[in-house]
Amino acid sequence: MSDVLILAAFLAFVVFLVAGKRRKYAAIAGWSLIVINLLTAVPEYLTLDNLLYPALAIASLPFLAITIHYLLREEPIVLQISNAAAVATMIFVPFTFIPVFRDLLITSVVNQAVWLLQVLDHPVQVEGWNIIIRNGFATEIILACTGITAIAILLGVTAGSDNLTLRQGLLAFLIIVPTIYILNILRVVVVFIAWSDQWFTGLPDVTGTTEFGAGYASFFWAHNVFAEALSLVILIVIAFGLFRIIPQLAVFARELVNLYLSEITRIANMIRTDTISR
């Protein structure tokens, strides 16, 4: 189902990029399909004890409502973020549906992670083509482990900037792609070492699951907590770096945040007033 929704969102955003006056409806379809895809993936993420993405899925509902509201009014800021989403989708989808792109990227991450593990004196066994094993602990490297999602989002936001110069675009590309790719390799390696060496056995096993074998708590803390939190911090740092290179992007980000916060505040005040009046 996920692939169908992603492909449908891709087609909706293609229409948005080429359509004329009615492109707002294509953007609404694209955003709606992305949110539906997030919501349908919640059960899978919960089985993996991943709380970040379910939280994002829940937060996406008011975001979608506000986005639809302003798209119908053809608000320039929301049209611009929709343009960024469209570009990000254009970048991400080929790696999802074209096997040679997907497999090449995953193989590259596996090979470089294995090399770095060997350099760090943590030799591993590779099973098949994308599963690394050490001390009886195995990790499968999939597309989500390559950093392509973060790369696509930031490149989309950059490409969606108004009056972007060639110099700004090239500098942004050099900041986004190599930085995220290299840091993602480090993330994969550190999480795997923490998992295979059982770094966090002293922390509580809040998952209570035995589906993934004994010692899963170390993977949970390394991957679902510490790595996720650090990834968010790194993305914020990269964003501020982009703001220095592309000042108009900083202005856009500020206006976008203000727009959504003001709308959330307005809705909250309406609900509070209605509650008091009752």
- % the chain with pLDDT above 90: 60
Q: Are residues 86 and 125 in the same domain?
A: no
Q: Are residues 84 and 21 in the same domain?
A: yes
Question: Does residue 217 sit within a domain?
Answer: yes
Q: Mean pLDDT across the stretch 240-252?
A: 92
pTM, two decimal places: 0.87
Q: Are residues 83 and 116 in the same domain?
A: no
Does residue 186 have a pLDDT over 90?
Answer: yes
Q: Mean pLDDT across the stretch 231-237?
A: 92
Q: Are residues 56 and 124 in the same domain?
A: no
Give the model's confidence band at 271: pLDDT under 50 very low, under 70 low, under 90 confident, else very high. Answer: confident
Does residue 51 have a pLDDT over 90?
Answer: no
Q: Are residues 71 and 189 in the same domain?
A: no
Token pair in block for residue 136:
């009886």
Work out how many domains the chain is built from and give that number.
2
Q: Mean pLDDT across the stretch 157-176?
A: 90
User: Tell me, what amino acid is at 86?
Assistant: A
Cβ pair 224, 49 in contact under 8 A:
yes
Please write the tens of the pLDDT for every residue from 72-125: 999 999 999 999 999 999 999 999 999 999 999 999 999 999 999 999 999 999
Cβ neighbours around 250 below 10 Å, total: 16
3-state secondary structure of 264: helix
Does residue 171 have a pLDDT over 60?
Answer: yes
What pLDDT is stored for residue 235 in this prediction?
Answer: 92
Domain membership of residue 60 as a residue range: 1-97
Question: Does residue 31 sit within a domain?
Answer: yes
3-state secondary structure of 234: helix
What pLDDT is stored for residue 218 in this prediction?
Answer: 85
Q: Are residues 105 and 239 in the same domain?
A: yes
Q: Are residues 62 and 72 in the same domain?
A: yes
Q: Could you give the CA distance from residue 59 to residue 52 in angstroms, rounded to a whole number?
A: 11
Cβ density class 87-96: b for 16+ within 10 Å, e for less: bbbbbbbebb
Mean pLDDT score across all residues of the chain: 88
